[in-house]
Structure 1
Amino acid sequence: MQLVFDARQHALPQRRELWQTALCSAYIALDAELPGTNDYQGSLSKDDFGPVSITDIRLSQHVIRRRRQHLAQLDKDCYYLQILQKGHAQLVQGRHELPSNQAVAAMFYSGEPYDLQCLADIRALYLEIPRESLRNRMARQDFPIAGNVGIGSGVGKLAAQLCVNLAAESRAITHADKARLGAELLNIVALVLDRDPGPDTDGDPHRLARLSLIQSWIEQHLSNPELSLEAIARHHNISVRLLHHLFRQEGESPAEWIWSRRLQKCHDLIRSPQEMHRSITDIAYSLGFSSSSHFSNAFKARFGMRPSEARRR
């Protein structure tokens, strides 16, 4: 593992700012709320294993927050699997409140806000997994944005132990072998998630499967200006009332989810080098927006900047 940051190597007044920079560099944009002292202890090491990355991190007690304004800087579409080796933590994402310890891991998504509270000094491994790479390996497609994963026994324990061993022996493993081992690790994690009922213990699997099917269909029709709740319900042979009920379990209305996905897709297209020939207005209109000013205001409310600023960045 390559050392990214060690607080002990820096003077006390610099530690807080440098630690925040190190976290954003190793992971994604976020805020770290540290204890009210500069005498902060923490270290972070990282290595890549083919499609996945593993970080070995030691943290003093504090809170890590990812907010809407950070999503505009999203350069990774991935899941994180937190494997604690010492201490306890609590993660909140969407309607999910996830404890984690040595027997239960927490899995969460980079594309939605979250709060990660380290309840004491901890040591943890974080497995960074590209979302598409994981979904392509899974039989089930109803995994929510966050969930708990059992790692105290069975295949879950095997996956966690493999992460520990890879981190410990990374310097002795060749680059080619790391790529192959990372691919195998990803296969094992997909197997764990296919078998483990933990990701949404309070959910109805049939409801989740139906909701996932509806969301997938909506994604394919986001550019249709005639897309409506009535059309969605009619296509899936359900009532609009049931459609609202399915989405309410996820903490938002169908309309909110649709506009959120349209905004995110506009954001991705605006920042894509392949779409630079298209005007921002053209992109917005192609995703169902009919007013440039409404789109610009909605975009800024979600991402903290105007569409033109996002393109320049």
Structure 2
Amino acid sequence: MHPQSDLAHWESSVHAICGNFSTHPQRHIPFLGSIQLSNLGGLEVAHIETNAHRVERDYKATQDDRYCFLILQTGGIMGFSACNGEELALKPGEIVLIDSSWRFNMLPQGLIQQTSVHLPRTLVQNLLPGKQPFHKLSSNGISTQMLRNMMQQLRYSNTHFGAADSEGMALQQALASLLQPALNLHEQAPSSLRALAEQHIVRLLQDHRLSPERLADEMHISRRTLYRLFESEGQSIAHRILTLRLDRCSAELEWPGNDALSITDIAFKWGFSDVSQFSRAFKRERGISPREYRQLSLQAANIAQDTSSHAPEFF
């Protein structure tokens, strides 16, 4: 079939199954797109595969928002971006709940596969924690694991024999019941999220690969949400990581028992991959070089020790 015909058939099928979306294929790469619908007693499950460059929720989406899409990524990585700036990436095995009343883009990273369960928006809208387009479920928690198992079963279910309406309704209720604790597990107040971010930073501080992108991924939130947590205090994430690393390095340099550790050893221990970068950052923040800081700290320690040893004793 001609590629244009493939794209036309794909868009027609997507409109019929998922609603108003516009598809933009990759340039110079043959378009691949397949979408199949299973109807389990009224519960619609779409099985999707595509290598499109971008799939946009049409501007008329608000007229076609009867569903929320509960999506299990089964292959490849899918990026999402919404009109309010929220972004996330969905990896295989991860689940996201999307509010269909928002305008958003889907950005496949190569060929992707998904299973999308269409839940009536009226059924889940009261479960949505705040007005956000995307609700990525935490990988922790039994409720999320059970949801993943159910969606895997729906992915491979034999639909030749159909399902009774009562079964479809039961499946919808079961999914919604598991969604509530899964979303509550993920929902946290900004202050709690800020504290959680600090915990992750401290845990990963010695890893030179620590970055805002990795931190957002560890916390299952968008980079924009993460940036906002720190912007409210007038500090960037990168600077917070740098400050904590310099604090740890300073403590190491101050300790007299660390004579055997070189400045390079200490820098590498606390996540710096370049000793020159460490020295420049240290001098910028502390006003002196790491070597001078160590010398002054040791001198101060020796003076304090001498003072203590010569102090008069009182009986």
What TM-score comes out, normalization by structure 2 length?
Answer: 0.53
1:230 corresponds to: none
Given candidates 71, 81, 89, the residue that maps to 2:70 is 81
> SS of the counterpart of 2:14?
helix
Q: 2-side partners of 1:48 and 1:204: how far apart?
A: 42
* Distance (whole Å) between structure 1 residues aligned to residue 111 and residue 8 of structure 2: 19
Q: Deviations over 1:47-84 (max 9, x none)?
A: 2345642111111242101243x236x23333212211
Per-residue CA shift, 1:115-158, capped at 9, x if unaligned?
1100111111112222221135x3x7535232321246632121
Query: What one-letter code is carried by the residue in structure 2 that aligns with 1:28?
Result: G
Residue 98 of structure 2: aligned partner: 108
Matched, 1:148 2:139: no
- Against the structure 1 CA distance between its residues 51 and 203, is the aligned structure 2 distance closer, same or farther, given a 3 Å change threshold? farther
2:170 aligned to which of 162, 180, 192: 180
Structure 1 consecutive aligned stretches of length 4 or more whose deviation exceeds 6 Å = none
Give the letter aligned to residue 83 of structure 1.
Answer: L
1:26-41 equivalence runs, <5 A: 26-36=17-27, 39-41=30-32
What CA RMSD, in Å, does the superposition of the two structures yield over aligned residues?
2.8
Measured in 2, the distance between the counterparts of 1:190 and 1:48 equals: 24
SS state of the match for residue 35, structure 1? coil
Note if contact 2:78-2:107 (Cα within 8 Å) is conserved in structure 1.
Answer: yes
Q: In structure 1, the residue corresponding to 2:144 is in which secondary structure?
A: helix
Residue identity in the other structure for 2:71: Q
**Structure 2 residue 110 is the aligned partner of structure 1 residue 120:** yes
Structure 1 portions without partners, runs of 5+: 1-9, 207-248, 250-313
- When residues 104 and 174 of structure 1 are mapped into structure 2, their CA distance, relative to the original with a 3 A threshold, is closer
Q: Residues 37 and 22 (structure 1 numbering): CA distance in 2 closer, same or farther, change over 3 Å? A: farther
1:274-293 aligned at under 5 Å gives the runs none
How much does 1:25 deviate? 1.2
User: What's the secondary structure of 1:53's corresponding residue?
Assistant: strand
AA aligned to 1:193 is L
* Aligned pairs for 1:44-63 within 5 A: 44-49=35-40, 52-63=43-54
In the TM superposition, what is the alpha-carbon distance from 1:18 to its structure 2 partner?
1.4
Other-structure match for 1:135:
125
Alignment partner of 1:162 is 2:153:
no
Report the CA distance shift for 1:40/1:186 in structure 2 as closer, same or farther (over 3 A): same
- CA distance in 2: counterparts of 1:22 and 1:127, whole angstroms: 16
CA distance in 1, matches of 2:43, 2:53: 26
Contact 1:92–1:116 under 8 Å retained in 2: yes
* Identical-pair percentage: 11
* Residue number in structure 2 paired with 1:18: 9
TM-score by length of 1: 0.54
Where does residue 92 of structure 1 map in the other structure? 81
TM-aligned CA deviation for residue 37 of structure 1: 5.1
Give the structure with higher Rg (CA).
Answer: 2
Greater RCO structure (CA 8 Å; 6+ sep) = 1
Q: Secondary structure at 2:110's aligned position in 1?
A: coil
Structure 1 SS opposite 2:74:
strand
CA offsets 1:240-266 (integer angstroms, 9 cap, x no match) = xxxxxxxxx8xxxxxxxxxxxxxxxxx
AA in 1 matched with 2:175: L
Q: Measured at CA, do residues 185 and 43 of structure 1 come closer, stay the same or move farther in structure 2, by a change above 3 Å?
A: same
Total equivalences in the alignment: 191
Q: Residue type of the partner of 1:182?
A: Q
Q: Is the 8 A contact 2:33 2:51 kept in 1?
A: yes
Does the residue aligned with 1:76 lie in a helix, a strand or coil?
Answer: coil
Structure 1 position 38, deviation (Å): 7.7
Contact kept, 8 Å, 1:89 with 1:101, in 2: the verdict is yes
How far the C-alpha of 1:34 sits from its partner, in A, is: 0.8
Cα distance in structure 2, aligned partners of 1:60 and 1:164: 22
